[in-house]
Amino acid sequence: MKLSHIAKELKFKIKCGEELLERDVSGGYVGDLLSDVMANSKKGNLWITRQTHQNIVAVASLKDLAGIVLVQGKEPDADALEKASIEGIPILVTELSSFDVAGKLYILLS
């Protein structure tokens, strides 16, 4: 399923990477520990996290993740946004919790 469709259905706000939303999402991964996400996320996953600093961009780039969703109304740090734009990683935000995003995404994808 395309990231644009998910973003619309779950009412995510797009912070950057608007032009990249036509990529396919293979599934989701929830994690705030970067090593856990490095080890266990899969290519094309949408990463659901509460980490907002710039280091999330390298993780998403290294693991070929489809994008990052920041939960509970968290906003990305300015340098995270800048890096994400350069690296081509969409960052989206939502007021929902990780649990709610994961649940809704699971239903959408199944």
Partner 1 sequence: MSFNYEQSFTIQGGNFTDAGEVSVFIKKTLQKMGIPSEILRRVAIATYESEINIISYAKAGVIYIRVTPENIIINIDDEGPGIENIELAMRAGYSTADEKIREMGFGAGMGIPNIINCSDDFTLTSEVSKGTHLKIIINISTN
By the criterion CB under 8 A, which residues form the site for partner 1? Answer: 32-36, 38-39, 43, 49, 51, 53-55, 57-59, 61-63, 79, 87
Nearest distance from C-beta of residue 51 to partner 1, angstroms: 5
Nearest distance from C-beta of residue 11 to partner 1, angstroms: 26
Strands 27-30 and 45-49 turn out to be parallel
Look at residue 58 and give its three-state secondary structure.
helix
Nearer to partner 1 by Cβ, of 35 and 110: the residue is 35
Distances from the Cα of 86 to the Cα of 17, 52, 83, 89, 95, angstroms: 9, 17, 5, 8, 26
Nearer to partner 1 by Cβ, of 65 and 96: the residue is 65
